[in-house]
Amino acid sequence: MSLVIRKYLIQLCLVIPIAFLGGCSIGTSGGKLETKDLPPILWMTKTLPNDPGKGLVDLYAKRKDEPEPEKLASNIIHYSIEVSEDHQKLLAMDQEENVALFHGEEREKIGSDLYAYEFSLDMERVIYVSEDHGFYVKQIGGEKDKLLSNVISFEQSYIGGPLYVLTDEDDLYRISDSGEKQKIAFDVTDYYVKNQGKTVFAGMKDGSIYAIEDGEERKKMIDGDTQVNPYWIDVSPTGQYVTYVETVVHYEDGRGELYIVDRSSGERKKVASDVIIDERFFDQKGEFIYYRNTDHVLNSYQIKTGDKEKLAEGVQTFRYEAASDTLTYLTKSDELYGGSPGKAIEKITEDTYSFDVAKNGVICFVTADGDLRTKTPGKEALTVAQEVESFELQNNHLFYVTKENKVWYRHAGDTESVVYLDNLENYSKANTEFKHHYGDFTYLYEQEAKLADVEGYWTDHTDYLKFEALTEDVLKVSILDNGSSEWIESVDLYHQYSREDQLFFEDALFTIDSTHVIKVEEGVQSFVLYRMSQGEMDEIVSRQ
């Protein structure tokens, strides 16, 4: 243990801990249109014994009409799991890097050592890149076809539409549904498919961005002297207008200058400054833009006239659901508002804990007291359940977890809920979908490490430590004084929040590799601790 760390453990005084609310994060789930009105499968994982930090899990599926979850596979790499859009199929890679498809009672091997993979939009095929960067499309239950070599990434457009593929030579190809290939750009660094799959925006090595549409010549949209990522480009429902955020010095802050471009005339206008990159939406008719500034003001911009209107102040986040023309926003004081921007925005509740919006405009939210409610704008709110920890909304299907770790299910047309699973604590994670992509993702249920998991005696083979949980959020750390049998009370660590195998403190991170090994990180310093039994510790103390 380094001198810096020892000094830290003995002398550091921590500040007041930051409060953390667990459960379903605001606006992270729901609203996807399903191809079938079947209840989504509740996919679950169970961390393998003595291996919580390696990402290997047992995989389970709980279906509505089955009494118990079905174990599908063991030694699955957790972050390799990908679920289909209808939530009925799943792809996963095992410890030997074999990728398999799970669908109903079937398990079908897709390939080994795959570089990337995902379901096709029609969910009838699997698209993947092999380890040697071959690009394949495999019919579920059928044969595979190799379409291209030297591929590093791909994107889909729409059902029956082309695939866009980037090679290691920076060439961008369009591949039709029949397999016909066409090189549409070169010197491409990144690209994204937008406009319901009809337009691909390609970033070039010189920094410029081109718009490429089927059957048309590519057109330069943005010059190379600007700081724009193709991912930040949005297209209006009519396809006439494009918005994007240009960043200069504010990239790390997630903000920039918002511009709009008329694609027919090429005219560009600046809409606003200091706009949150991922909080801006066209309305359903393409007549307005809704956006939020870093000063927490929610605004609207009328495209035809250029008029701006301040809709609300003190807004911490907002959502717009185009299908139902529903705008919802949460204030810094946890007040939730919602409704149609062209009609009336009403206060939904004053103590929102989390919320989501269905395609039909029904707002689901959890209050600070743990009440799960639904609200149709213009009507009274209905209470679905009490003591709710989290919920997941998938179009017409609502799952929620109550305080006693039961999963409940309700269809949108029903007035009663049924218990879907009553022993959730036996699993490590549960959700209707999993993501293997980087980025934040909130689960319907996730086991969290507790301070009790690290209580006891630990050593790095140089020093000896004792961890004691004073409360659920305070861990007392003591160090054995060299040359004596006295424990020196060194510091109280204030717990902020947890993951399945991690404890986050104000100035430290504990990663639990097993019941006997933890890794402690403090700034750039880190060290590994090994658990000691009471008997082993008594023997060490007796020698002092």
Residue 24: predicted pLDDT: 28
List the 42-47 sheet strands across, edge first. 70-77, 56-62, 42-47, 429-431, 445-446
User: Is residue 29 within 8 Å of residue 356, measured between CB atoms?
Assistant: yes
List the 352-357 sheet strands across, edge first. 352-357, 363-367, 372-375, 382-385
User: Is residue 402 within 8 Å of residue 415, measured between CB atoms?
Assistant: no
Residue 105: predicted pLDDT: 83
How far, in Å, CA of 420 to CA of 69, rounded? 10
Which residues, in sequence order, are bridge partners of residue 102? 90, 107
Residue 413: predicted pLDDT: 66
Spatial neighbors of 516 by CB under 8 A, at least 6 apart, are: 530, 531
Lowest mean pLDDT: which of 316-325, 402-411, 432-441?
432-441
Residue 484: predicted pLDDT: 77
**Per-residue pLDDT averaged across 238-255, rounded?**
77
> What is the pTM for the complete model shown?
0.77
Residue 126: predicted pLDDT: 97
Percentage of the chain exceeding pLDDT 70: 89
- Nearest CA to 429 out of 19, 118, 81 is that of 81
Domains and CATH numbers, the chain: 3-17+449-543 (2.40.128.210), 238-313 (2.40.128.650)
Q: What is the DSSP string of 15-58?
A: -PPPP---SSPTT-S--PPPSS-PPPPEEEEEEPTT-TTTTEEE
pLDDT category of residue 132 using cuts at 50, 70 and 90 = very high
User: Is residue 245 within 8 Å of residue 256, measured between CB atoms?
Assistant: yes
How far, in Å, CA of 424 to CA of 404, rounded? 9
How far, in Å, CA of 321 to CA of 326, rounded? 5
Mean pLDDT, the chain, rounded, equals 85
Q: Is residue 540 helix, strand or coil?
A: helix
Q: What one-character DSSP code corresponds to residue 486?
A: P
pLDDT digits (tens, 9 = 90+) for 172-210: 999 998 999 999 999 999 999 988 888 999 999 998 999
Residue 457 has pLDDT above 90, yes or no: yes
Residue 101: predicted pLDDT: 97
**Per-residue pLDDT averaged across 214-223, rounded?**
83
User: Is residue 117 within 8 Å of residue 91, measured between CB atoms?
Assistant: yes
Spatial neighbors of 207 by CB under 8 A, at least 6 apart, are: 223, 224, 225, 226
Residue 32: predicted pLDDT: 37
Residue 266: predicted pLDDT: 87
pLDDT category of residue 130 using cuts at 50, 70 and 90 = very high
pLDDT category of residue 73 using cuts at 50, 70 and 90 = very high
Q: What one-character DSSP code corresponds to residue 535?
A: H
Percentage of the chain exceeding pLDDT 90: 57
User: Is residue 56 within 8 Å of residue 93, measured between CB atoms?
Assistant: no
pLDDT category of residue 439 using cuts at 50, 70 and 90 = very low
452 backbone dihedrals φ, ψ, rounded to 5°? -65, -25
Residue 232: predicted pLDDT: 83
- Nearest CA to 275 out of 265, 289, 288 is that of 289
Residue 54 has pLDDT above 70, yes or no: no
User: Is residue 492 within 8 Å of residue 470, measured between CB atoms?
Assistant: yes
Name residue, tokens 């960043």: 247
Q: Is residue 500 helix, strand or coil?
A: coil
